Amino acid sequence: MRVARSIAIVLLVFLGVTALAGSIPMIFHPHGNSTTLPLSTLENSPFRTYLLPGILLFAANGVLAFAIFWVLIKRLSHYALLTAFQGCVLLVWLIAECWLLETVIWLHYFYGAIAVALIVCGFAMRGELNSLISGTPPGTRSA
């Protein structure tokens, strides 16, 4: 459980920092720029600027990751479930992004691995990972 908690702390901080670093340029330069954030990337999506995706990224994977990090550090109630929840939020974000942009790049796989790791860490911190693998309900012993 201590290893899962340590991994989750590192992943939440990394996710929070990179989400904020990615969202701030999107919010302050919603029309993008020609070298790093061209508007042509959004042509198949329902978005015409980067403003709304930037705000959503900032909130869902930046602020939320740091909030859950704080809950995890303080060991407040449900910290394990919230860690798994952040992994689910990230996974939904990635699926939606790939679907809307009609593209998949290596970063999607990288952050997908982070999402899965957060989910696994969350269940491991709850002590439910073995029951998920074995298919037995939590709190029961397998024969």
Q: Please name which of 122, 54, 51, 57 lies closest in space to residue 83, comparing C-alpha atoms.
A: 122
- Looking at residue 33, its pLDDT comes to 85
- Looking at residue 133, its pLDDT comes to 65
Q: Please name which of 64, 76, 92, 89 lies closest in space to residue 125, comparing C-alpha atoms.
A: 76
DSSP 28-83: H-TT-BTTTB-GGGGTTSS-SSSHHHHHHHIIIIIIHHHHHHHHHHHT-TTHHHHH
Structure tokens at 37: 């954030």
CA distance 8 to 118: 6
- Let me know: does 86 contact 68? Beta carbons within 8 Å: yes
- Looking at residue 35, its pLDDT comes to 75
Domain boundaries, the chain: 2-134
- Looking at residue 142, its pLDDT comes to 52
- Looking at residue 128, its pLDDT comes to 72
Reading the chain (143 residues) residue by residue, the pLDDT tens digits are 799 999 999 999 999 999 999 999 999 999 998 778 899 999 989 999 999 999 999 999 999 999 999 999 999 999 999 999 999 999 999 999 999 999 999 999 999 999 999 999 999 999 876 666 666 676 665 55
- Give the orientation angle of helix 79-101 with respect to helix 2-28, to 10 degrees: 40
CA distance 36 to 2: 39
Give the CA angle between residues 68, 22, 57 to the nearest 5°.
Answer: 50
